[in-house]
Homo-oligomer: A and B are copies of this chain.
Amino acid sequence: MSREQQVLDRIERQRRRRPVVREERITLAHGAGGQATHTLIEAVFLEAFRNPLLAPLDDGALLDLAGARTAFTTDSFVVSPLFFPGGDIGDLAVNGTVNDLAMCGARPVHLSAGFILEEGFPVADLRRITASMAAAARAAEVTIVTGDTKVVERGKADGCYVTTAGVGLVERPVTLSAAGARPGDAVIVSGPIGAHGAAIMLARDDFGIEAPITSDTAPLHGIVDALLEALPEHVRTLRDATRGGVATVLNEVARASEAAVVLHEDAIPVTPEVTGVCELLGLDPLYVACEGRFVAVVDGEHADKALSTIRSHPLGADAALIGTVAPSPAGLVLLRTAFGGTRVVDVLVGDPLPRIC
């Protein structure tokens, strides 16, 4: 048996196992978006809450509310530091929920915001965050219509945590799902990857590295709207590449679609600055979070039109076709390297980047 086949077999065996949380206590890896997060979600949350709307584990749930096709989603934000080059926890929280709705093919409409504040948190910082949320909401054409505030004692939080939820309207007859990819489809990323994660790592100042990197946090509803307008019937899957990066998102797609995703390393857009920081920190940009980039899986015959549509939007100018969907090895992501080799891009087990969003 070839070495590659052995790797595939091992991954296949792992994945066939019923998900079991073996740890007795929560670790940072459970929040990192990788394998431990998946296992926790499947073995604890999905097990407890099991219902058909939750089961697809897409970025949001699609609901029929008295005939209105609605998308509903939530995200908690614990990013550290709260303020970083290119954004802060406020616009991150608004854009994150706006983007999850957009990935469901919905027009984001209304948001809620729940704040958990630590005693002693500067009111001026809270004002900065709310101002940033308000500006992000205006830019995304959503309104924050309901909220809640709790305060915990010093040492029981880290300044400010924000949980946003959002509702959006699905006004196009689209069906988007991580399970929608088919052999022959094209895989597109809307721009250079990894800037958000790299900006956060630098902002932590643990490394003494300086580089001109700002977070890519941005609302993606406009660019998605343009794509769905141009190709209403040929977009299979949309995913914003947040925690765990493009690699994690594509693993979810490959698994849900029971197909392979084959990436071409040369084609993946990464800025030299992000490449440099990732090399210094020993990270693979494929796993580093973006907060303003998405992956689109589209019918291969319409890949050119999809790419040109995305590129014609200011947030997608550097979009790239990075791979294709193949029938096998089902459930896996493969990377064709610049040197002509192939390696499996698996879901991460540990947590290289805690509290990235």
Shortest CB-to-CB span from A201 to chain B, Å, is 16
Best-surrounded residue of A109, A149, A151 (most CB of chain B within 10 A) = A151
Residues of B within 8 A of A67 (CB): 66-68
The answer, among B30, B76, B123, for a CB contact under 8 Å with A23, is: B123
Q: Flag whether A63 is at the interface (Cβ < 8 A).
A: yes
Best-surrounded residue of A127, A130, A145 (most CB of chain B within 10 A) = A145
Q: Flag whether A115 is at the interface (Cβ < 8 A).
A: yes
Shortest CB-to-CB span from A352 to chain B, Å, is 14
In the complex, what distance in Å separates the CA atom of A41 from the CA atom of B150? 11
In the complex, what distance in Å separates the CA atom of A60 from the CA atom of B145? 8
Q: Flag whether A214 is at the interface (Cβ < 8 A).
A: no
Given contacts A26-B117, A41-B149, A119-B28, contact A134 B61 (CB under 8 A): no
Q: Chain B interface: which of A152-160, A221-229, A270-278?
A: A152-160
Residues of B within 8 A of A27 (CB): 119, 151
Is there contact, CB below 8 Å, between A76 and B116?
yes
Shortest CB-to-CB span from A335 to chain B, Å, is 28
Residues of B within 8 A of A117 (CB): 26, 30-31
Residues of B within 8 A of A63 (CB): 109-110, 145, 167
Is there contact, CB below 8 Å, between B130 and A45?
yes
Q: Chain B interface: which of A7-15, A48-56, A182-190, A336-344?
A: A48-56
Given contacts A25-B123, A119-B26, A169-B66, contact A48 B149 (CB under 8 A): no
Shortest CB-to-CB span from A77 to chain B, Å, is 7
Residues of B within 8 A of A23 (CB): 123
